[in-house]
Amino acid sequence: MKWVALFSMASLAALAGCHGPRAVGTSETGSVEGTIFVWDDEAHTSKHPLDDAVVALTQYAGRVAEPSPAKRIVFTNDGFPSRTVTMTYGQRLDIVNASDRVLGPSFDQAPMPALMVAPPGGPNTQADPISLHPPHAGYFTLRDRMGNDGVRLDVYVLLHPLHTVSTAGGRYRIDGVPSGTMTVNARVASVGEAFATVQVAAGTVAITHADLHLEYRPKITRAPASARIIP
């Protein structure tokens, strides 16, 4: 299954049920980790790692743990810790303002009846957060409505909890994975997508390694505001 198929509205009903039931996780789980790369040339002789790639597991069977009620991120004077965040549909996004600026975040694709504003929190990373609730699974652009034009966060709300974003050096890791055969998908909207089939073993020390190599495709652009991106 290619990543582009995962973004199709036609496949929504099937994808919502193709991963097995959600339930409290058991010890019979493993982990998948690796590095996301992009080829620098058509001959595949040079590559470099990609951070901020969305990585998701699909086509698995078995029980996985329910996600936490909220995904929490902290905004500081340096901005958000990453450019991209993944969430599971049903979670809320808690944003803590630990900067010296007034922050009024909202989703472009989900207008709010009233703008929530967080006063400057300084270094207090335990301040009360602003909570945003994505109305559906899909892609959202978070911006600040208080004049901070440089504030932007790409938010992907997915239908299942087995996903993450690659960090510096292209590294990713997904824990709590049920054993069996499944697909690892990776995508960067401005670059391309890749996928691989893996066999995951269960156990606390069981780690399945999967590196993915994206093909650079200049015609691929950021998902439009109306697109519902649903792996």
Asked whether the beta carbons of 21 and 66 are under 8 A apart, the reply is: no
pLDDT tens digit string along 29-68?
Answer: 999 999 999 998 888 999 999 999 999 999 999 889 999 9
In angstroms, the CA 56 to CA 132 distance is 22
Length of the chain as a residue count: 231
Asked whether the whole model's pTM tops 0.85, one would answer no
pLDDT (0 to 100) of residue 222: 53
CATH of 3-66+161-214, one of 3.40.50.300, 2.60.40.10, 3.30.70.20, 2.40.50.180: 2.60.40.10
Closest to 226 (Cα-Cα) out of 132, 140, 160: 140
Closest to 215 (Cα-Cα) out of 191, 197, 195: 191
Closest to 189 (Cα-Cα) out of 226, 222, 155: 222
Rounded to the nearest integer, the mean pLDDT of the chain is: 83
Q: Which of the pair, 99 or 14, is modelled with greater confidence?
A: 99
Q: What average pLDDT does the segment 176-192 reach?
A: 93
- Domain ranges in the chain are 3-66+161-214, 70-158
In angstroms, the CA 145 to CA 107 distance is 10
CATH code for the domain defined by 70-158: 2.60.40.420
pLDDT (0 to 100) of residue 23: 38
